[in-house]
Amino acid sequence: MKFRIIWIDDSERWVNSVSDDLEEAFANFNFTPIIEKFGSVNEQARASIYNNYLDLLIIDCNLPGINGNEFIQELRGNRCLSHVVFYSQESKNLNLVHGDNHFSHVTPRDEFSTIIEQVADQAYRKYNHPAFMRGLLLSEFIDLESLLDDLVSSCFKGESSYFKESIINKGGESFSLGTKQSFTCRLIKDASAKFIKDALTKDEELIAKNNKIIAKLAEINFTSSSFSTKIIRRRNILAHAHPTYDNETGKITLISAFPDVDFTGDWLFETRNFIHDYKNKIKNLMSLNLIEVVNP
């Protein structure tokens, strides 16, 4: 199963010296580590962390301009609940970073390989436990729906907080995930229609501006059919799944009420990718402020 790792350290030489140990530790548990390496906590590193799911973040405590505790808070505030391994050659740096309840480790460099073996073992036990797999993905789906809530409620301008608290959060099935999807698709459709109408004018500046947004909408490609297949159907599959115990083998597996569903590691990896792809789509839609177009 694929295991996504981001490694941040400005000492490329040291990272290369222990990379084989890390890859071997995860390979021993049948993981295929996918590793991205950065020399600092820059915009590119943050984008890679927050725009996809992340299994493990490895980071040097001694990077300039980074406070370990503040960075953990930033990670958790952005719903990044991956394992985090902080390490340092200087023991005094380790005293400045405290572990939290989300699998955070603080270790000297000379114990790095031992900690990584422990993390690989923990990851193996988690991803082979059906209740964890189901809970993790359902949490990811909740995060996705929360972003949709933000998008939908923002369309009510000054009443957005009231709308979210009184309509969305108390709407139950009357304002389901499918309804929010339909609302979003209608918003995109109405905005696109407005752009086409504006194209009939002779305002070249307005036309150029609208053409840029139309191109971005095409790139985002938020479609009802794809959302239904990749998000709503998979969420329903998990919502109607339950663990079962085999008395002969002692193995616990996850069984869905839907036929022909095999909850393999690849299914988990693919589903998490779908979720984070749509998270990014929704974030990009929010950045376009389409409500300013359809309801200026």
For CA atoms 168, 273, 54, 286, give the dihedral sign. negative
Which residues make Cβ contacts (< 8 Å) with residue 175, sequence separation at least 6? 167, 168
Amino acid at position 223, single letter: T
d(Cα 17, Cα 33) in Å, to the nearest integer? 17
Asked if 138 contacts 193 with a C-beta cutoff of 8 angstroms, the reply is no
- Give Rg (Cα) of the chain: 22
What domains appear along the chain, each with residue ranges and CATH number?
2-127 (3.40.50.2300), 130-294 (no CATH)
Instruction: Find where tokens 């990272």 sit.
Output: 15
Question: What digits encode the pLDDT tens for the residues 25-75?
Answer: 999 998 999 999 999 888 899 889 888 888 899 988 777 777 666 777 787
Q: What is the dihedral of CA 117, 10, 63, 23, to 10 degrees?
A: -10
Which residues make Cβ contacts (< 8 Å) with residue 217, sequence separation at least 6? 188, 191, 192, 288
Low-confidence ranges of the chain (pLDDT < 70): 67-69, 89-104, 157-175, 199-202, 296
CA angle in degrees (0–180, nearest 5) for 294-295-296: 110
pLDDT value at position 173?
A: 44
Q: Which residues pair with 106 in a beta bridge?
A: 86
pLDDT value at position 164?
A: 61
Amino acid at position 34, single letter: I
